[in-house]
Amino acid sequence: MSMLETIKATHMTDTESSAAGRAAGRRPRMPRRRWLLPVAVAACLVSVGVGGSANAAVPTAAGILQAGAQQGIADGYPGVIGLVRQGDDVQYVHAGVGDLSTKVPADPKAKFRIGSNTKAFTATVLLQLEGEQRLSLDDTVARWLPGAVNANGYDGTKITVRQLLNHTSGLPEYAGSAQVSVPYVANTNPRQAWAPQTLVDIALAQHAPNAVPGQKFSYANTNYVLAGMVIKAVTGTDAATEIQRRIIEPLGLRDTSFPTADPALYGNYLHGYLHPVTFYTQDVTVSNVQTYGSAGAMVSTLDDLAAFSRALLTGRLLAPAQTVELKTTVPMDSSGTAEYGLGVEHLQLPCGQWGWGHTGAVLGYLSNWLSSEDGTKQVLYANSEFHLIGGTRGQLDTGKAAINAFCAL
């Protein structure tokens, strides 16, 4: 599924090959991080009222998102939180609970795992390093990581850093391997160590190349694991340290962190749940962060994620030349409505508006952000259940509400 099928059903993000799918007798799905939109895109133009009649006032953006959150709970989500921003006006929505055991209401200020929304942070560091003339995005991967990509027909001397960031490298996905996905979904050892090069080696063994570098968009977490490795090769410190120093601290993102080993969450957080093909709901709040690292390990809040994306799009974090590179896109498919920049997506919505955004989905959590280019209009939300299979009713309903809310701003 892609952004055209439910704009295109839901964004399989950080885990993409699902052992849960195996349990259901289904072939594991590869990750497609895309904003969701219903297949019948015209349906997205229908106002989502909170229960009014045809003569009722046009619902507000916050009202639309609130109705979507409530529908998400009706669809089976434990909790849904959201944020709508227009200029300096911020409104929050929430439905359900943040913890099934205590029944505390879901808090829109709570922390959650942001999954592949991490990618924009990783890309930002590499763009900053280019602005400092410490590397070029057109450097080859082999220039910084000799021998890291050199197996099964893949050649790091022919792949650039830019192609990692816009997913045109042609590299395969490591998350589809049972070696990675089974222990991740089982979640029996959240501290299992995964060296980045090990994940890359697993990816290269999946299949021989089916496209030359630069030929086409093909989403793979492998690209951003390598991007994190490049950051360390250039700076001498890991991606988590550079993101903390260059982004989290300057922007004052007090509730944002990049765990590298500790699988727990702390303070005020939304519990994450796994509700797969069985009827057993499992608390997976504590899960392995090493499986996705610089591709998807970060933790944040709606407020912090909104502040980061605003700063990124409006040039606060990057020099003008690098801001242009951030927003230079490649087509994600043939529709002309879905493009990928460097760690961010550019999407045309059914109402005709374009927005920048991304999806993040890891065990127990699915989140999306959508922003206008000038950062004056933003919609974000997070759901507290993800079982690694896309296209569920809850994903579709909350995703449609978010897009309708953005179009209503």
Q: What is the pLDDT of residue 148?
A: 98
State both tokens at 156: 């790091």
Q: What is the pLDDT of residue 385?
A: 97
CATH of the domain at 261: 3.40.710.10
DSSP code, position 196? H
Q: What is the pLDDT of residue 57?
A: 77
| Rounded CA Rg of the chain | 20
If one counts the domains in the chain, the total is 1
DSSP codes, 67-119:
HHHHHHHHTT-SEEEEEEEETTEEEEEEEEBS-TTT-PBP-TT-BEE-GGGHH
Integer angstrom CA distances of residue 27 from 59, 178, 389: 41, 12, 11
> Which residues carry out catalysis?
116
Q: Are 90 and 379 in contact, with CB atoms under 8 Å apart?
A: no
Q: What is the pLDDT of residue 289?
A: 98
Integer angstrom CA distances of residue 13 from 43, 233, 242: 25, 26, 23
Q: Is the pTM of this model over 0.75?
A: yes
115: left (phi > 0), else alpha (psi -120 to 50), else beta?
Answer: left
DSSP code, position 205? T
The residue segments making up the domain with residue 319 are: 3-408
Q: What is the pLDDT of residue 381?
A: 98
Q: Which residues in the chain land under pLDDT 70?
A: 1-56, 276-279
Which tens digit of pLDDT belongs to each residue from 250-281? 999 999 999 999 999 999 999 999 986 556 78
Q: Are 394 and 76 in contact, with CB atoms under 8 Å apart?
A: yes
DSSP code, position 32? -
User: Which position has the token pair 């990509």?
Assistant: 149
